[in-house]
Amino acid sequence: MKNTFMEKKETVKRNWYVIDAEDVILGKLAVTAANLLRGKGKVTYTPHVDCGDYVIIVNANKVNLTGKKLSDKMYYNHSGYPGGLRERTAGEMIEKYPEEMIERAVKGMLPKGRLGRAQIKKLFVYAGPDYEQQAQKPEKVEVK
């Protein structure tokens, strides 16, 4: 009988990847980033262990949305106080907060709970083409 391999958090080998979001559809970008953050492409993938890689997303302000999402899709925040609901369209989010829009899309595709919170910390999003993690020599990933 063959034993099933289970990765341990001490033995995880993490890589760095960079994704250029220019002219890429938001959903496809989020799926690619979430799969890399979870480690789904690795042969050592273990669902209950944070075995994913680090992901850097650049050019977040040039991401594409299909259809009429720029005007119709809404993002909501609530302060917890009466009358504290803030509504923003996707068009406003892409102009003022492009990093937050991508972070929300990726976070929604990660597991909920302590594992998902650990995985989202390995995501770095930048509005422009420059990023701080050049010393890690990240590999470029194409979104299909």
20: left (phi over 0), alpha (psi -120 to 50) or beta: beta
Domain edges within the chain: 13-66+92-141
**Nearby residues of 64 by Cβ (< 8 Å), 6 or more positions away:** 23, 24, 25, 26
**Nearby residues of 76 by Cβ (< 8 Å), 6 or more positions away:** 85, 86, 87
pTM above 0.95, yes or no: no
Element (H or E) spanning 107, and its range? helix 98-107
pLDDT tens string for the chain (144 positions)? 678 889 998 999 999 999 999 999 999 999 999 999 999 999 999 999 999 999 999 999 999 999 999 999 999 999 999 999 999 999 999 999 999 999 999 999 999 999 999 999 999 999 999 999 999 999 999 998
Q: Report the distance separating Cα 108 and Cα 39, nearest Å.
A: 16
Cα 43 to chain centroid distance, Å, stands at 21
Which CATH class name applies to 13-66+92-141?
alpha beta
Cα 61-110-104 angle, rounded to 5 deg: 30
